[in-house]
């Protein structure tokens, strides 16, 4: 059974890559806002919006007028336009409010790009992204599955993150026709009705680090006392 799964990692781009990320975010925002203005005008005049196809064709001409749009990932610009079209589709279905203009003052700035022709991949402790090339990341776990898209984010503190969406194959578990009670706790993550306990890895990991730190302190003090 194929499912979508997301991974999130901290990114450590170079200065040149940071500049290109900032440009891509700005260009994606420009495309979104420009076509949102046209969409709003058309909706007020006709009661209907535009279409993604017509806007996509116009985006190609727009790059000739604003040549700096060619400096960034073209798929990111198309994704920004697709997000606008999807937002308006949900608006017409009364599933959400009308899309609003994006501001560069928003706390979190981001752009999304999609995988095409192997333009994205995980290579050791780096991720290959369109236009950016290989970007170092803190890979805390292995990425399993086929990469579908990646969203690059910059938070208010200036840190960069990437959220990777993959398609992976999982085998559904067989039904056992049995049941069990689960009691969530603090010291133990969960205690089952059959007496089994599931460890709280977060708590154990935190205490393990503290234990190592205290053991180093103790070793230093013992060595200092021995020298005296």
Looking at the fold, whether 156 and 206 belong to one and the same domain comes out as no
Asked which of 169, 195, 211 is the last residue of a domain, the reply is 169
Asked which of 144, 169, 194 is the last residue of a domain, the reply is 169
Looking at the fold, whether 113 and 192 belong to one and the same domain comes out as no
Looking at the fold, whether 143 and 197 belong to one and the same domain comes out as no
Query: Quick one: 105 exposed, middle or buried, by C-beta within 10 A (0-12, 13-18, 19+)?
Result: exposed
* Domain annotation covers residue 27: yes
Looking at the fold, whether 209 and 132 belong to one and the same domain comes out as no
3-state secondary structure (DSSP) of residue 130? coil
List pLDDT tens digits, range 183-218: 887 777 788 888 888 777 665 666 777 888 888 888
* Domain annotation covers residue 177: no
Looking at the fold, whether 52 and 159 belong to one and the same domain comes out as yes
pLDDT by 10-residue block (mean), the chain, 228 residues = 91 96 96 93 84 90 92 94 90 87 89 92 94 93 92 93 93 83 80 82 67 86 84
* Domain annotation covers residue 174: no
* Overall number of domains in the chain: 2
Looking at the fold, whether 51 and 146 belong to one and the same domain comes out as yes
Residue 62 CA to residue 26 CA, distance in Å, equals: 15
Looking at the fold, whether 125 and 189 belong to one and the same domain comes out as no
pLDDT for the residue numbered 204: 61
Looking at the fold, whether 44 and 149 belong to one and the same domain comes out as yes
Residue 79 CA to residue 81 CA, distance in Å, equals: 5
Helix axes 52-65, 15-46, angle to 10 degrees: 130
Tokens of 92: 């017409």
* Domain annotation covers residue 176: no
The answer to whether 122 and 9 are in contact (CB under 8 A) is no
Looking at the fold, whether 60 and 116 belong to one and the same domain comes out as yes
Residue 124 lies in domain: 2-169
Looking at the fold, whether 31 and 62 belong to one and the same domain comes out as yes
Residue 108 CA to residue 155 CA, distance in Å, equals: 5
R_g (Cα) of the chain, nearest Å: 25
pLDDT for the residue numbered 31: 95
Which residue bears the tokens 């949900």?
90
Looking at the fold, whether 150 and 55 belong to one and the same domain comes out as yes
């Amino acid at each position: 059974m194929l499912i979508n799964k997301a991974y999130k990692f901290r990114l450590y781009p170079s200065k040149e890559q940071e500049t290109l990320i900032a440009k891509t975010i700005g260009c994606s925002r420009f495309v979104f806002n420009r076509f949102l203005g046209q969409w709003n005008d058309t909706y007020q005049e006709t009661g209907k919006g535009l279409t993604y196809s017509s806007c996509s064709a116009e985006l190609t001409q727009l790059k000739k007028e604003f040549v700096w749009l060619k400096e960034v990932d073209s798929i990111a610009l198309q994704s920004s336009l697709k997000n606008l079209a999807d937002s308006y589709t949900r608006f017409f279905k009364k599933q959400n409010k009308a899309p609003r203009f994006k501001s560069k003052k928003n706390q979190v700035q981001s752009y999304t790009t999609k995988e095409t022709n192997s333009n994205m991949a995980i290579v050791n402790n780096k991720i290959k992204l369109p236009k950016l090339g290989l970007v170092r990341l803190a890979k805390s776990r292995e990425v399993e599955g086929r990469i579908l898209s990646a969203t690059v984010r910059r938070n208010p503190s200036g840190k960069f993150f990437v959220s990777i969406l993959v398609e992976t194959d999982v085998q559904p578990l067989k039904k056992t026709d049995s049941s069990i009670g689960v009691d969530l706790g603090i010291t133990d993550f969960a205690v089952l009705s059959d007496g089994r306990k599931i460890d709280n890895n977060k708590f154990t990991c935190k205490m393990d680090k503290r234990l190592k730190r205290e053991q180093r302190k103790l070793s230093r003090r013992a060595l200092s006392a021995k020298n005296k």
